[in-house]
Structure 1
Amino acid sequence: MKQSGVTPWWKALRIRPEILDSSGSIADVQMSLYHAVHGTGDQRPQYADAAHYGEITHPTGALTDLLARIAIRLGGGAEYGKVPALLRLDQGMGGGKSHACIGAYHLGADPLELAKTDVGKAVFQHAETILGRPLPKNLDDPHVVVLPCDNMTPGVTVHEHDGPAKNLHERFLWRLFEGNYSRYDAYREHFSNLSKISEAITSLGRPVLIIVDEIMNYFGNGLDGVGDETLTAQDQAFMRALLDAVTKTPRTAMLAVMIASDKDSISLSAEGARRRLDLERLLDRNGKPVGVHENDDFAAILRRRIFAKEPSREVIDATVREFKQTMDNGQWKTKVFDLFHAPWTARFSEEVNRTYPFHPQLMHMAEHEWANRAGFQKVRSTIQVFAATVFALQQRGKDGSWAPLLIGPGDLPLSNTQVRESIIGSGLISDTKTQNNYRSLAQNDIVSVTDTSGTARLMDTGRGTDGSALWHHSNPRAAERAATAIFLTSIVSGRSQGRRGATDAEVKAATAVPDPAYMFADADSVIKDLTDPETGLVSIEVTPGQKGHPTRYFLSTEQTLLMLQRAMRDTITDAERDTAIADFAEHLTETGPFDRKLFVRASTDGQIPRDVLAGAGIDDARASRVVVLDPAQFTLRNGADRATRDAIQAAVGLGADKLPARWASSAVFVVANTQQRHAARRVATHYLAAERVLGVQETQDDPDMKAKATAERNEAKRSLEAHVKRAFQHILFLAQPDDDAARVVDEVTIDGKTETALNGIIVWKALVEKGKAFDQGTFTAKALLHNVRESDFGRPLDELRDSFWNTPRLPLLHSGQNDLRQALFDAVQLGLIRIVNGENEGVAVTGVSEINLSSQRLRLGKPLPSSDNDRLSDDDGAELQAEPSPDDKVNTDQNPDDVDTDEPPVPQEKQLAFSVTQSMLNNTGNSEALSQLFRQLYLMVDNGDVSFLQGSIQMVLNAHTADGLVESVRALGSSVHVRDM
């Protein structure tokens, strides 16, 4: 892939195989002198070989000078005294001390091999310059004694390294004499004798290099832990003597690593601090502190450590030309690059040659801002960050995705876990809480780990899909790059003159690309999007420019709860939002009188609504079902419900594309309203955001924020429950008013403000009002006879039973088969029907439980004429006397002549329905009238004058009296709804 005709760096350079093999992670960036010397098998790193070490090591001036002085001390013959014997590395963590120690070890242990490498050649050349003559390439065959104090426990012997040695002096002798016990024993007692130590070194007859790594790991808390005062005294005395002895012993060099106290964060006991002070004085007196790298060495070190070959000058020059066309053009020059005070803008060509493939803006930041941070581990951290970045961007380039021609401060891909964690753990951010805050901020405000969300990332992807930017193809991550540049400057507190964040020019420069289509005005527009108070980065703070100072942008981790919630809302996907609504709807669905509930989830693989219902298992024998349809795919109204209606029609066996549905009559569909779904979706997004805010680390670490976030989540949950209930307003079912009418899908819409179709009781009530269902206790013997047709007589009881679940003209039964069995029994007792066998012989029924609704042999029979209704036969042929029905009884006290057959019959009962709505506040007249009405009703019920009662009462009453009334209602087996006013 080429951009603007220039060969991109991921083709011009070859990343080292060890970085490719570890997906951008350099496993050995934290080198270990111990493993280089003693490592075996998997524990022996590649840099244990002098050749590989030389291949990955750039010969910086400081490292070359250090190793050259050691080389002169070892191989300079009589002129060894031209350089100091004791050299001390006192840099903080990650400053290259271990790398230098390993270089010194290879110089002493394998000088011939090291001399073949670039670093070895530089060392010998520099030594020759100091000495005035060349050194022998074997340095007179020196012997190396390594005391890796970070891998030594005081008083604990490791036999393979220490033999019989226990204290530090004995360990030194065992390594000096390479396990020669007699020579070791001859000097073992002289742990504090300077001349004897010098004599032991000289006795080898060859140069000696002593490397003591991480002295304070041993002399600090290590000696405190052993609890042996004798050992502690011996080790201290030996180290004092050794530091003096090496300065007086010919052809002897010592490299000691002891971090300066002002750079060492290790906590020491009082005795440990005293020992450190004592050693520092000795080192200052006898040795010379030396450095390993300068900040300006970073670029060269990175290129050598990450890439296996140097870039061609032609590629670099072509890249420079592309960028210069933008940098020297109009407002880009006057309002962006001319405002930089860093020297890289004036010497851009030279700087790109030095830093390629990294942009000089990024390298300047690493060398002059990162490196000066006390906690930043300089070389080590820089290599980790840049290696992970190079690998991630190379993968994009190889996949055909966009990657920058020069890697600038906006191009560190925070979506890559390795990159993000390398930055956060580099030491630039001092404390764990702030690290967690910036980790969350990067993912929510800039770009997520999936590279698909984050405020800035979504701005870029939206710009690409709507075609609003002609330059999108050459700069598809403009917002992300700007936000990342602000992120990198925000984590480094106290930049130049103590100011925070990035200047306007720095951010715009970070978005620049060598494409004339992307102009200064476009960069300005990108930043305006990022700083928009409604849709921009929630964590951004803008300091307006004034009095000659530029506008600055800073990402603050001191986030309010509102900021976090808005950030989290941007991470909620449509699928997550709809799933939350579905979960709530399923949880909130109450079966009520229905036998079971069924929640039908929306398709996740593109199935049409009809096919979703086909596979939902809706058709279920002899069970009333409330079928709740997922609003993600099924809604009604707003002119977009054709697919939902067609699917329900097919599910109940109607239409051209109907599904097999034997039990469709007993399935009732509950569907959300389209407009109410919109409202529920907004609330669902808010709820999920509140849930995520509660789970982030910064919320958990802040008790006040956690309490507020919990309250917000709970309130959002209550709101979502209310909106989901309100959304489900529509009830659809299969109906057939009479035998001659066509089957249709009928519909009921309930008031979503006060009721919900997710409540089975409310759904059943709506069906009762539509004549699709019987209310509790209303399916009597007379109701049974009303719904029985002539053709039903002679039908087996199991067919009669099934018809109440599969025949649309028959209403659903509140208590199912129990209602049917009771009505049959009552009708038999009243003489309205008979239960007969296959021969049409009556079967005696003495209890409800004797009616077997599963029987195919027992059938529904017509009642016998009064003249034949004297005797019934049971199944065994026994004859039972039939009780006369109430309608058959004759009043013997009445004179037949007094019966006026021309008079219409006097009704025995009347149906009465009324409603009452009264305000009882300050209205004594209404109160008295209503009290009288309820007393009259009470007397009628108490006297048995009421044979059937159905109704609902809604009242507002004193809270302290409500509980007693609730218990009374529930004692009747009725449900009651109570809410606080």
Structure 2
Amino acid sequence: MTTELTPWTKIAQPHADIADGSFDEGLFAADLGSVARGRGPADYVNPVQFCEKTYLTASLTDVLTRLSRRLSGDESAPSVHRLQTDFGGGKTHTLLSAYHLFRKPDDVAGTALARGLSEQLGGHAIPKATVAVLDGSDLPATPEQVDSDHRLYTLVGHLAWRLGGPTAYDRVAEADRARAGASTHELAELLSAYAPCLVLLDEMLVYLNNALAIETHEGSLAGTTLTIIKNLTQAAAQVPGVAVLATLTSSRMEDYADVSGTEMYERLSRVVGRSENIVTPVEGDDIFPILQRRLFAATGSEEHRRAVADAYGNHYDSLGDVLPSTFREQNYRDRIARAYPFHPELVDLCTHRWGSLSGFQRTRGALRILAHTVKALWRANHDAPLIHLGDLPLYDDAVRGEVLKFAGESYKSALNADIIRPDSKAPQEDQRRGGQAGQMRLATALATTAFANSFSADRVVGASAAQMMIGVTRPGVSRGVLDDVRDALEGALWYMRLEGGRYRFTTEPNLNKVIVEREAAVHGYDVDQRINDAMRKASPSGQGFRVIHNVAEPSALPDDGRLTLGILDPELRLGGDTDSEALEIASQILKTKGAGWRANLNAIVLVAADAHLMSAARSTARTLAAMQDLLGDRYRLARFNAEQKERLRKRASDSEERLPQQIVMAYRHLLALRDANGEGVKVDHSDLGPARMGSTITERVAAHLKDADRLISDQLAPAALLSQRFAVLPADQDAVELDRLLSYFSQYPRLPKLASEKVLSRALASGAESGQFALSSGTSWDAEDALIRFRESVSPDEIVFQPGTWLVRASAAQALLARRQPAGGPDDKETRGEPSGTQAPVVPSGSTPSLPASPTGSGGRAHGGGARGGGRSDHISAVTVSVRGVPGERMREVVKSAVLPLVGAAEVSVDLQIRASGGPQGVPRQTLDLVVKEALRQLGLTDFHVDEHDA
């Protein structure tokens, strides 16, 4: 975790049976009739256990207080109470509370429930009463034999028997056997005999629907029963110390959708409604303490719960308008503290969104799901501060079973494909990401949030972007990470849809699965075609390179000396199982031209694809082919809505744009020949590294070679042509022909590659002008009629790379010029080798090559070397060059132009002084310590000193 908040598993303590999963499922399915008969879980049957685990909500306090007043003889207190609640809204728990408290108040006096009620009564004792339970789901409509001498026929018989056994029954026996019911007066006398008494009516609609089939003298037993209930409520109002607590139905009206059932419910409502006081047992956030009391032995201190609530509140504040203002109000912090360790959204989902679904019991269903949730997360040592909606463990059989009861078994496929299995899409996304997202299982949590919000009786289903975030986020989780994971799920899950700004699951596969299915039918040729199209976009000719694609054999690359970048066939990959094969073929291509050895070994560069990255590119190409195929399938396209069609077009467009960049990323293995220190050549393998967005393969190759001084596209120092490193002019030779010189750069891997011959032309022109060497044209460099260009301006455009043009050592050129110089002095044209009366010639195409003389004949300027006889030596014993004010961005150029030329001909040491000002922010100390100093040490340059100046 990236937050200091303590996990709830270290603070809260579930009840032992919840923690180990041994709890009885019946614990959350209380049945009043069964408890009255002594059957069911001990938590319901045992009065003390029940009262210890029951939380006294405001509504429960109200109804129990009113009943206490009535049973104590307060005639102003209501005599009849009707519990109005949704299915599973806490009505049975209210009935059981009244049953245990008033039946044996002394036995439960020490419990939290009894103490709380007594406090509400001003310290008075809870009244004891005779409690008669009439549970319609437990009462047979047919006669019930209760002992050897008594059989009960109607509700009157059951009421009397439960109030006082045989003695009480004898009062109504005749009317009961005749199925005639009882009058208000008769019932008032019966109740008076056993007052104070409490009559609990539950599930009466069940009994009435069963009674419809029983005929009596007055029609049906159902009609008689309605009369009995009406008379009972009226009689209770007449007798002090008598109260009736009733519920009408155990389910929704859709369970009684037939005419008779609906009519019976309406009649029963009217009968009870004449004297009822309506009570809602569980309202609002009353569910929070109920869940805590039922599921946990302890939930930590109020101080800790408040600290967690404040941390979440501050986190929500930091998200700003991403979340509705409701989540940033103080009231929501209070809700978090009250709901601990559950996040309020999880409880709201169970009790409100799911609570409105047919077949889901709001309180009971929530208790069952949350009990199994606590069990599963406790076993997993869940490390979050709260139990979020996204933490709902749908992988747990019991939790999933409860959800599928209302969602439907058809959602199993969606859960299996996207959420609950290790190979499901969301867990796979978590595993792929790793780090914080993987540890917190953010992808699975977001998918779970979307799935859970997909079910509601509301017309609008699904989770909004804010609901997705609130279902998962916690202190320490950034919005950017969540947005990134959520966006990834849109393109990965098979059953989640984004429609109208809401994420929801359906039983129909979404666009992702349709595309995957179509991918299986894509032919390999279609994938290759898209890879090749993208490859051409990713590697255009340029940077001095001719680019040839899909190179798989030596004959694919010409041996003409032209600088060539060969893009190896996508199947010849590195970083996988085919490394040795790919490297062997690459070596053959670099060294041979098919039938024989390649002459221009330095003109060829190869780049190979990374196996893993090319697989990803091929996957994109296959997906692109599938999407383009779908876009062309008008029959299948007609099954998509407008939003899906637009999303398909957008995804296809994005993939088409992304594929060339993936190709650039994949082709990162550079292969070229290098000199093996006089022992031939070897294949050099370099990794180009991660690609910059928008770059091309050609640009990356050129940049890498330039950084390694293996490609020159701009300035070549003239002195380098005479250096030992280049070795293009042997020590025993005074000149080399220019066409041969140019060919050396294509042939010998020890030399840098030239982006064009203009690079060499500029170097030659500059060297001739500066006097580092001379240029000559003629049948030989020292022929009588050879034209010598030395220490004079020469245009690069004048230089032609043909036989008969030469680079001549400066000393040799000076000697030649000295021999030609007549006694008349250096101003005579003959001294420069220029025939009298001639103009500077231009070398026409196809003519004998020559270098034109300077039009001025002035001999040009001298740069670092003088003419023979001028008193200056051709060589200097030592030189010190001081340059000040070099901008940082020009440093590389200075090293190449001023340092490297000297390195080739002398022992060079450089004393470097760097003055760096960091502006108002200063120079980052981390840069100085970890980058600059450490780099100098790794280079072996330990003789350095750093002066730091405070701002």
CA RMSD of aligned residues (A): 3.9
- Per the alignment, residue 559 of structure 1 pairs with 508
Cα distance in 1 for partners of 2:213, 2:510 equals 47
Task: State the partner residue of 2:844.
Answer: none
1:530 alignment partner in structure 2? 489
Query: Which of 232, 235, 240 is equivalent to 1:242?
Result: 232
The one of 424, 428, 432 equivalent to 1:458 is 428
Corresponding residue for residue 397 of structure 2: 417
1:510 equivalent to 2:471? Answer yes
Q: In structure 2, what is the Cα distance between the partners aligned to 1:56 and 1:45? A: 12
Q: Which moved more, 1:239-248 or 1:144-153?
A: 239-248
The letter of the residue matching 1:89 is L
Equivalent residue for 1:352? 336
Tell me the amino acid that sits aligned with residue 62 of structure 1.
S
2:498 is the alignment partner of 1:541: yes
Offset, 1:536: 4.0
How much does 1:121 deviate? 2.6
Q: 1:353 to 1:526 in 2, by over 3 A?
A: same
Task: Tell me, yes or no, if the aligned pair for 1:35 and 1:45 is still in contact at 8 Å.
Answer: no
Q: Which residue of 2 aligns with 1:340?
A: 324
Classify 1:254/1:321 alpha carbon distance in 2 versus 1 (closer, same or farther; 3 Å): closer
Deviation at 1:318, TM superposition (A): 4.2
Instruction: Name the CA distance, whole Å, in 2 between partners of 1:267 and 1:342.
Output: 39
CA distance in 1, matches of 2:504, 2:136: 42
Is residue 167 of structure 1 aligned with residue 160 of structure 2? no
The residue that corresponds to 2:374 in the other structure is 390
1:486/1:554 contact within 8 Å kept: yes
Kept in 2, the 8 Å contact 1:415–1:443? The answer is no
Shift of 1:87: 0.9
| Runs of 5+ consecutive residues of structure 1 not aligned to the other structure | 129-133, 430-434, 544-551, 571-636, 642-677, 687-981
1:208 paired residue among 190, 197, 212 = 197
**Structure 1 position 537, deviation (Å):** 4.2
Is the Cα contact below 8 Å between 2:316 and 2:327 reproduced in 1? no
How far apart, in 2, do the equivalents of 1:295 and 1:14 lie? 25
Aligned to 1:195: 185
Question: How far 1:44 sits from its partner (Å)?
Answer: 5.2
The Cα offsets for residues 188-214 of structure 1, whole Å up to 9 and x where unpaired, read as 56732211111122123x301111111
Partners of 1:161 and 1:354 in 2: how far apart? 54
Distance 1:317 1:537 in 2: 40
Cα distance in structure 2, aligned partners of 1:68 and 1:316: 31
- Which of 315, 326, 337 is matched with 2:304 structurally? 315
Please name the residue that 2:273 is paired with.
284
Partner Cα separation in structure 1 for residue 482 and residue 246 of structure 2: 52
Equivalent of 1:154, from 141, 163, 167? Answer: 141
The match for 1:17 is 16
CA contact (8 A) 1:148 1:213 kept: yes
Partner of 1:439: 412
- Secondary structure in 2 aligned to 1:84? coil
Return the match for 1:403 from 383, 391, 402: 383
C-alpha change, 1:223 and 1:291, in structure 2 (3 Å) is: same
Q: 1:373 Cα deviation (Å)? A: 5.2
Cα separation, partners in 2 of 1:343 and 1:182, compared to 1, 3 Å: closer
**Residue type of the partner of 2:471?**
A
Tell me: CA distance 1:231–1:25, structure 2 relative to 1, closer, same or farther (3 Å). Answer: closer
Distance 1:378 1:218 in 2: 23
C-alpha spacing 1:267/1:323, structure 2 compared with 1 (3 Å)? closer
2:94 is the alignment partner of 1:100:
yes
CA contact (8 A) 1:69 1:83 kept: yes
1:479 aligns with 2:443: yes
* 1:327 shift after superposition: 3.5
Q: For residues 61 and 513 of structure 1, what CA distance do their matches in structure 2 show?
A: 31
CA contact (8 A) 1:87 1:290 kept: yes
Counterpart of 1:116? 110
Alignment partners' CA distance in 2, 1:181 and 1:512: 63
State how 1:633-644 maps to structure 2 within 5 Å.
none
Cα deviation for residue 523 of structure 1 reads 1.5
Q: Aligned residues, how many?
A: 531
CA drift of 1:181 comes to 7.1
Deviations 1:236-267 (A, max 9, x none): 43233222211112210011110399x42222
Offset at 1:216? 0.8
Residues 196 and 385 of structure 1: CA distance in aligned 2, closer, same or farther (over 3 Å)? same
Secondary structure of the 2:267 match is helix
1:244 and 1:155 map into 2 onto residues whose CA distance is: 26
Q: What SS does structure 1 have at the residue aligned with 2:232? A: helix
Work out whether residues 464 and 502 of structure 2, in 8 Å CA contact, stay in contact via their aligned partners in 1.
yes
The 3 A distance-change label for structure 1 pair 238 and 319 is closer
What is the SS of the residue equivalent to 2:270? helix
Kept in 2, the 8 Å contact 1:24–1:390? The answer is no
* Superposition deviation, residue 102 in structure 1: 0.8
Amino acid corresponding to residue 488 of structure 2 in structure 1: D
Pick from 253, 259, 273 the counterpart of residue 249 of structure 2: 259
- Whole-angstrom distance in 2 between the partners of 1:107 and 1:37: 13
Match of 1:57 in 2: 54
Q: 1:493 to 1:272 in 2, by over 3 A?
A: closer
SS of alignment partner, residue 119 of structure 1: helix
Q: Measure how far apart 1:149 and its partner are.
A: 1.1
* DSSP-derived class of the 2:151 partner: coil
Aligned to 2:455: 491
Q: Deviations over 1:134-183 (max 9, x none)?
A: 5433x1x3111111111111123142599422222122212222233784
The one-letter amino acid of 1:9's match is: W
Percent sequence identity over matched residues?
A: 25
| 1:347 shift after superposition | 3.9
Does the 8 A contact of 1:490 with 1:501 survive in 2?
Answer: yes
Measured against aligned partners, the alpha-carbon deviations of 1:273-316 in whole angstroms (never above 9, x if no partner) come to 44433322121112122110102212111111111123213432
Q: Report the CA distance shift for 1:324/1:176 in structure 2 as closer, same or farther (over 3 A).
A: closer
Q: Distance in 1 between matches of 2:512 and 2:222?
A: 56
- Give the residue type in structure 2 aligned to 1:201: L
Give the conservation status (yes or no) of the 8 Å contact 1:187–1:200. Answer: no
Q: Relative to 1, partners in 2 of residues 1:70 and 1:405: Cα closer, same or farther, differing over 3 Å?
A: same
C-alpha separation in 1, matches of 2:98 and 2:212: 27
Distance in 1 between residues matched to 2:374 and 2:192, nearest whole Å: 50
Tell me the SS of whatever aligns to 2:166.
coil
Distance 1:208 1:99 in 2: 19
8 Å CA contact 1:191, 1:237 repeated in 2: yes
Q: Write the letter of the residue equivalent to 1:456.
A: A
Shift of 1:638: 6.8
How far did residue 105 of structure 1 move? 0.7
Residue aligning to 1:501: 462
**What letter corresponds to residue 102 of structure 1 in structure 2?**
L
2:377 & 2:45 partners in 1: Cα distance? 30
Q: Which whole-Å CA distance do the structure 1 matches of 2:149 and 2:437 have between them? A: 65
Q: Decide whether the 8 Å contact of 2:430 with 2:442 is kept in 1.
A: yes
The alpha-carbon distance between structure 1 residues 405 and 245, as it changes in their structure 2 partners (threshold 3 A), is: same
Query: Which residue of structure 2 aligns with residue 747 of structure 1?
Result: none
Contact persistence 1:72–1:135 (CA under 8 A): no
Deviation at 1:328, TM superposition (A): 4.3
CA drift at 1:4: 4.2
Structure 2 letter corresponding to 1:203:
A
What letter is aligned with 2:496?
S
Shift in CA distance, 108/344, structure 1 to aligned 2, threshold 3 Å: farther
> Structure 1 pair 161/303, CA: closer, same or farther in 2 (3 Å)?
farther
Do the aligned partners of residues 367 and 162 (structure 1) sit closer, same or farther apart at CA in structure 2, a change above 3 Å counting?
Answer: farther
**Shift in CA distance, 566/156, structure 1 to aligned 2, threshold 3 Å:** farther
* Separation (CA, whole Å) in 2 of partners of 1:150 and 1:322: 48
Question: Aligned partners of 2:207 and 2:189: how far apart in 1?
Answer: 25
How far off its partner does 1:489 sit? 1.9
Q: Determine if contact 2:495/2:509 at 8 Å carries over to the other structure.
A: no
